[in-house]
Amino acid sequence: MITGYVFGAQIGFIVGALAALVSNFFLGQGPWTLWQMLGWGVCGSMAALLAKREEGFNLKKFTVLTAFCGYLFGWIMNTWHWVGFVYPLNIETFLATYVASFPFDTLHVLGNIVFSVVLGQIFYTVLKRFQRKFKVVFLR
């Protein structure tokens, strides 16, 4: 998400999607990988949308967005789980899937908040430095 915040929506989506793909080389690929790529990519793009509205780095708003994205990612993965493993597909099983995952999604949110508060400003500063250092300007 911090990459999307600094470099924009396209790069945020690509970094999020590729991070899911690469991590699954170590943690295990499966039919869930595409859903993870979608979830992390969307979160990276959402951070870019927040950055367009801000001047500099707003840690409070970024942290709130990371918390929301913790649940959003869980909801995306829950949808995959519900469609792929639950029968019958109806409103009761849909709600049961989401209720059952709520404690795990909440832990994901809490982790996002901690990482955002502890590392957000540091990573923002480092990535902005790289952005300035490696910026390419084409002259006409």
Divide the 140 residues of the chain into consecutive groups of 10 and give the mean pLDDT of each group: 97 97 94 95 98 94 98 97 95 97 98 98 97 88
What are the φ/ψ torsions at residue 135 (nearest 5 degrees)?
A: -70, 135
Question: Per residue in 82-120, pLDDT tens?
Answer: 999 999 999 999 999 999 999 999 999 999 999 999 999
Report pLDDT for 140: 82
With b for 16 or more beta-carbon neighbours within 10 A and e for fewer, the 80-110 pattern comes to bbbeeeeeeeeeeeeeebbeebeeebeebbe
Task: Tell me the domain boundaries of the chain.
Answer: 2-133
Record the pTM.
0.91
Domain 2-133 adopts which CATH fold? Arp2/3 complex 21 kDa subunit ARPC3 (1.10.1760)
How many angstroms separate the CA atoms of 57 and 123, rounded?
A: 11
